[in-house]
Amino acid sequence: MALPACAARALGPPLQPERRAPARTTCPRRHSRVEAELAASRPGSVAASVLAGPPRGVSRGFNSQPLLDEPPKASSSLAGAARTSLFALLPRSRRRRMHDLRRRWDLGSLCRALLTRGLAALGHSLKHVLGAIFSKIFGPLASVGNMDEKSNKLLLALVMLFLFAVIVLQYVCPGTECQLLRLQAFSSPMPDPYRSEDESSARFVPRYNFSRGDLLRKVDFDIKGDDLIVFLHIQKTGGTTFGRHLVRNIQLEQPCECRVGQKKCTCHRPGKRETWLFSRFSTGWSCGLHADWTELTSCVPAVVDGKRDARLRPSRNFHYITILRDPVSRYLSEWRHVQRGATWKASLHVCDGRPPTSEELPSCYTGDDWSGCPLKEFMDCPYNLANNRQVRMLSDLTLVGCYNLSVMPEKQRNKVLLESAKSNLKHMAFFGLTEFQRKTQYLFEKTFNMNFISPFTQYNTTRASSVEINEEIQKRIEGLNFLDMELYSYAKDLFLQRYQFMRQKEHQEARQKRQEQRKFLKGRFLQTHFQSQGQSQNPSQNPSQNPNLNANQNVTQNLIQNLTQNSSQNSSHKENRESQKQSAGQEQSDGNTSNGTNDYIGSVEKWR
């Protein structure tokens, strides 16, 4: 067998392979064809496996001898020598690549075979299981081994429907928490959404005695008039979330207009170009960044009616509201916020017509901010406004000389500030607690007769909860905020008593309404009953003449007759009593009878 000239020239000079790529021959197509033929003639090669197609089951070439770097033994024939010489011409990298391709093909064939057989066995087992379940539920329609085509289609449809429902459930409610909640909703009744959000007992023991006027907070807020809601926003109490609820999550005849990318919303009264809400997200920081009680009470009237003459200003009602938080959690949250670079240097702290001097209110840091400060340094600063911030922002600072600490002794100053904060908080139109979001929503809705669109969400995991402190540090934080601790205890007691009072009042009103409805239905029944009896006794009388009057007369006569008979029967059984007591008792019973009759008839006439 003669070799082609191109192959002879290729076999001539480079008898031993070089590390670099071989030189390009003059006839590349023939050379490629020869290499392909030689590779195809070798058993277990890549080309042979391609021509033979994918193996069935385990490939024969999977356990074949690996391709060595040395050429195979030369056969006695000229073709074998040519194949050996041509294979030796291939570089080592190409030989390894051909070996890898052959091995990958064999591994892929084995994996496909195993996967095919595994799926077939799984499908067979699933068919038997579903067939058994189907036969148990729907009766002996078909045996497990001999199921007709309709049964197979029905089983397939049920399986596909189940898989589709699982996929939809995972898309709508990912995770296991929502699924567990839904299972609990099917297995247990709906719980009270206002029940013990802080995982404490639903019933508490009041510590303070409040009057009915302190507990009953119902504001006649006229959004179409001149009344104004003023939100006092204390740092790190959840006021940002509550402020967004006021402008985005409340049902109004004319909702607030909130544009994308802007923090402020336009909250106008119906038919007027005047706001009904004074807050960060409606009017901005018009009285300064996080203005306190002292600043707002002197600034808000001037900002709202500043351009009008004093004689033309309307008589407004300013309804102040705020949110409080546990002092330790609020203190840690403010420290984390300051650690990230917050300063609140834009706060004015205006008191008595002027801001404090640098001697009255020194700074705790020297740079642009206090970012990265440790907790110990944050607590060591004696001029830190985070200490007792809630008491300071809710009290009237003019009573203690504003920020001048030399006006009165420290003990007296603390007492005046605490009493002022308690008084202002108690007389506010509304205040809520961060730890009771749903109760806060309920009391706001009952106070202002305004409903929210979606319920509030209780977030128990915050930045402050992620801070791990020991008992010693917690005691020190409580000592630095001892006024806030006492104020929060007072506010929590008042808040929970108000909530309990409003819930009881709501239940009493609902019970009274049901009783009136039952009384009305009973009166309607008695009216129709006596009217039908009157028509049967007097068939000659025309019932169209004054039917209401005749019915009312019949009702009154029958009720008086029945009550008189009952009272006479009861008085006949009192033989052992004295005559004076008996006559007095009879007069009292007659009076009660007449009063009960008149009340009952009046209620019937009212509902008619």
Active site residues: 290
Rounded distance between C-alpha atoms, residue 323 and residue 345, angstroms: 22
Range 237-245 average pLDDT? 95
Mean pLDDT of the chain: 75
**How many beta carbons lie within 10 A of that of residue 491, not counting itself?**
23
DSSP per residue, 68-79: PSSPPPPPSSHH
User: Could you give the C-alpha distances from 414 to 70, 311, 402, in angstroms and in order?
Assistant: 96, 39, 12
**Spatial CA neighbour of 36 closest among 68, 7, 74:** 7
Helix (H, G, I), strand (E, B) or coil at 331: helix
In this predicted structure, the answer to whether residue 544 has a pLDDT above a threshold of 80 is: no
Entry pTM: 0.58
Q: How confident is the model at residue 88 (pLDDT cuts 50, 70, 90)?
A: low
Whole-number pLDDT of residue 187: 44
Q: How confident is the model at residue 558 (pLDDT cuts 50, 70, 90)?
A: low
- Return the exposure string of 207-225: e unless at least 16 CB atoms fall within 10 Å of the residue's CB, then b: eeeeeeeeeebebebebee
Rounded distance between C-alpha atoms, residue 495 and residue 241, angstroms: 19
pLDDT for 481-496, tens place per residue? 999 999 999 999 999 9
Rounded distance between C-alpha atoms, residue 109 and residue 99, angstroms: 16
Specify the length of the chain in residues: 608
Residue 494 · residue 426 · CB < 8 Å: yes
Whole-number pLDDT of residue 388: 97
Tokens matching residue 90? 């291939």
**Spatial CA neighbour of 477 closest among 326, 325, 328:** 328
Q: Directed axis angle between helix 327-339 and helix 482-537, to 10°?
A: 120
pLDDT for 167-189, tens place per residue? 776 665 554 445 444 444 444 44
pLDDT for 565-577, tens place per residue? 554 554 444 444 4
Rounded distance between C-alpha atoms, residue 435 and residue 246, angstroms: 18
Rounded distance between C-alpha atoms, residue 399 and residue 112, angstroms: 86
